[in-house]
Amino acid sequence: MASYKPVVVPAVPRLGEKVTQDTLYWQGYKTPVQIKEFGAVNKIDFSPVPPYNYAVTASSRIHIYGRYSQEPIKTFSRFKDAAYCATYRDDGQLLVAGSEEGSIRLFDISGKAPLRQFDGHAKAVHVVGFLADKYRIFSGGDDYSSNLWDIPSAAEIVSYTEHTDYVRCGCASKLNGDVFITGSYDHTVKVFDARAKSSVMTIEHGHPVESVLLFPSGGLLVSAGGRYVKVWDVLKGGQLLVSLKNHHKTVTCLCLNSSGQRLLSGSLDRHVKIYSTTSYKVVHSFNYATSILSLALSPEDETIVVGMTNGVLNVKHRKPEESKEKSQKKRQPAYRTYVKGRNYMPKQEDFFVSKPGKCVLRKYDKLLKGFQSSKALDAVLEPHIRLYTPEVTVAVMQELNRRGTLRSALAGRDEKQISLLLTFVTRRVIEPRFTPILVTVADMITDIYQPVLGQSAVVDKQFLRLQEAIGREIDYQEELLEVLGMMDALFATLTKKKATYLEEKKSNGLTKTLDQDTCN
C-alpha cells in the first residue's frame, strides 16, 4: 500500500514589509512597562533638565516618575477635584497645573505645598503653561477665556474672551516671551500677544481642537482635531500647508521628537502615527491596547510614554547600544565546514545507506488519511488557520474536491457552521488565487442548502452578502474589460504602420516619374 502524501499547500509570494531607517529606529524600544494610574491620563510632560523625570496628571493627583522607576518618586495631591495639564518650566524647578474647580496651582519640585494659587476662572482650567520669559503663566478654561498671570504677584495680567467654546489646549512660543496659542472646541486656534489687547491671528481648523503644537523655530503651527492633523505657516498669516487624515478617530495629542524632524500624533483609534516633517508621510506607527489621551517623548528619544483612557501608563525605554567588545561573539567555524561533503558523488564500490526521514502530519492530514472529510474541513476552519493561513483551508477544500468528497463534507452542518463557511467564502472568493475552488464550494453550498433557505435569518443574510460580493466582482471585471478595450484601441492608433519593401519601391518610382515630368 502506498504511503500517504500530505496536502500540498501552494506557496504564494508575498510583498515583504519595507524596512527603512525609521522602522529600525522606532522599533528599537524594549518591551513596554505598564503602570496603572487612578484615572485617565490627560497629560504627560518631561522635565527639560536631567535626570528627565516626567509628570503624569491623572484624576486628582500629579505623579512624578523617574525615567526608570515604576513607582512615583513624588506626588502632588492638593486638589479637591480632577487636576489637568501639569507642565514643567524650562528650568525644571517649577510645575503648574489646572484643576476642575477653576484654580491654577504652582508647585516647587522640591516641596509639596503649592507656592502660588491663581483664581480667576469661573470653570475648569484644562490648559496651563509657562511663557518663554519664565515669569508669566497662560491658561485656558471651560469659561471660554484665555488668561495671562504674573507669577511673583499671583495677579491676573490680562484676560481674553474671544473663544466661544471650551479652551482645551495651548502652547507658548519658545522664541518670543509674549506669544502663546490656544485651541478651542469652537474649531479655532488663536495666537495671542501679551502686548496686544486681542488675538493677533485666528486659524479655522474646522473641527473641535484637541491639541496644538508650535515648532521650535516658531514658523510652523500644528493643530489636531477630529481625524485631522493640520500644519499651518504662521509667517504667512496662517496659511494651510498640509492636512493629514491618517487616523480613524479623534486625534487627541501631538508631540515632536528631540530633533524636530518627526511629528507624533496619538488618537482614540489606539494608534500613534509618526510623520516626517519634510514629506509629512507616515514613516512608522505604534499600536496600543486602548484609546490614547496623552503622549510624550523624552530628550534624545530615550523614552516614549503614552497615557490611555483606562488609566494605564505605557512606558517604552530604548534598548541600550551594545559595545563592540560585548557584541563580538565567539568565532564560528568557516562556511566550508558546513558544506563539506555536500556535493560528494558516490563511487561505484560505495555502499549507500539512506536514512528515512520522519514525516510529521498535521491534524487535517491525519483526518484526511483516515478519510474523515467533514472533520478535516472543520480542522482548517479553525480561527488561527482560516484567518492567518487561508491558503491551507483552500488547499484542503481542493483536495476534498479532487477526491470527490467535498459535497459530503459540506453537507449536514448546523446554522453556525454554515454561517462560518459562507463568511469565509464571501471574504476570500474575490482573491484570484482562491477564486476557482471557492466558486465550486459556493455552488455546492447553494445546491445543498437551497431547500432550507428562509428558515434562518443569519444564513439568509450570509447568502445575500455572498451574492453582493460576487455581483461587485463581476461589475469590476466588466469595467476592467472596458478599460482594456479602450487601451487596446489607444495602442492601435499609436502604433505606426511600417511601409513594406514593395510599397517603398512603388512610392520611389512614382516620385521619380513626377520628377521627370516636372523637368520636361
C-alpha cell at 121: 476662572
Predicted TM-score of the model (pTM): 0.64
Q: Which of 96, 147, 95, 97 is nearest to 121 (CA)?
A: 147
Is 330:59 a contact under the CB 8 Å cutoff? no
Which DSSP symbol is given to 238? S
Burial string for 323-362 (b: 16+ CB within 10 Å, else e) reads eeeeeeeeeeeeeeeeeeeeeeeeeeeeeeeeeeeeeeeb
- What is the C-alpha R_g of the chain? 35
- Helix runs in 353-456, H state only: 363-369, 373-380, 383-386, 390-403, 406-410, 415-428, 435-449
Burial string for 130-139 (b: 16+ CB within 10 Å, else e) reads bbbeeebbbb
Is 207:225 a contact under the CB 8 Å cutoff? yes
Is 80:95 a contact under the CB 8 Å cutoff? no
Is 210:252 a contact under the CB 8 Å cutoff? yes
Q: What is the C-alpha to C-alpha distance for residues 168 and 224, in angstroms, rounded to an integer?
A: 11
pLDDT in tens, the chain (520 residues): 467 888 888 877 665 667 788 888 998 998 999 999 989 999 999 999 988 999 999 999 999 999 888 889 999 988 889 999 999 999 999 999 999 999 999 999 988 889 999 999 999 999 999 999 999 999 999 999 999 999 999 899 999 999 999 999 999 999 999 999 999 999 999 999 999 989 999 999 999 999 999 999 889 999 999 999 999 999 998 999 999 999 999 999 999 998 889 999 999 999 999 999 999 999 999 999 999 999 999 988 899 999 999 999 999 999 887 644 454 556 667 777 777 777 777 787 887 777 776 778 899 999 999 999 999 999 999 999 988 899 999 999 999 999 999 999 999 999 999 999 999 999 999 888 899 999 999 999 999 998 888 888 888 999 999 999 999 999 999 999 999 999 988 888 876 555 555 455 555 554 444 455 545 5
Which DSSP symbol is given to 318? B
